Amino acid sequence: MARAYPRWSRIVRADQPDLYVRRMLINLNASWWRQRSSREMPADLRADTLASVEDSSAGAAERLVLWERVRLLPPQQRAVIALRYYEDLDDSRISEILGCSRTSVRTHAMRALAAMRVQLSEPEEARS
């Protein structure tokens, strides 16, 4: 958001400034992933150590495990999942943000969910 602030007067004059800012955030996130040298999570955030977390924070542990799976998805699928389930946007809005068709959005979502189901159903030894 700090990058959008200096350009805000131009952004707000656009037809849909929220689309521009969301697309900017997606592009920055993709750049960050490309630049990141290692995609490993710190050992204290891995799923096997999260199992020892108390029951009161079991929901947080499950969310971390789920985000670990989302991280492994290709960039387009990751963007669709984030926009659909965390931003709560519909397919037409997501297609506007990503610059693709609504059919592509549904296809990316279907493939992402299928890949995550496979990942979650694999035994821990097979994932290592």
Task: Kindly report, residue by residue over 13-71, the tens digit of the pLDDT.
Answer: 878 888 888 888 888 877 777 776 555 555 555 555 545 545 557 777 777 888 888 88
Query: How far out from the chain centre does Cα 127 lie?
Result: 20
HSE of 108 in the Cβ direction (CA atoms, 13 Å)?
23
Sign of CA dihedral 115, 120, 124, 128: positive
Query: Domain containing 10: what range?
Result: 1-36
* pLDDT the model gives residue 53: 46
Determine, yes or no, domain membership for 41.
no
Determine, yes or no, domain membership for 17.
yes
* Average pLDDT score over residue span 100-115: 95
Any idea what the CATH number is for the domain that residue 104 is in? 1.10.10.10
Question: In one letter, which amino acid is 103?
Answer: T
* pLDDT the model gives residue 127: 52
HSE of 46 in the Cβ direction (CA atoms, 13 Å)?
11
Question: In one letter, which amino acid is 89?
Answer: L
Determine, yes or no, domain membership for 121.
yes
pTM above 0.75, yes or no: no
Task: Kindly report, residue by residue over 69-104, the tens digit of the pLDDT.
Answer: 888 899 999 999 999 988 889 999 999 999 999 999
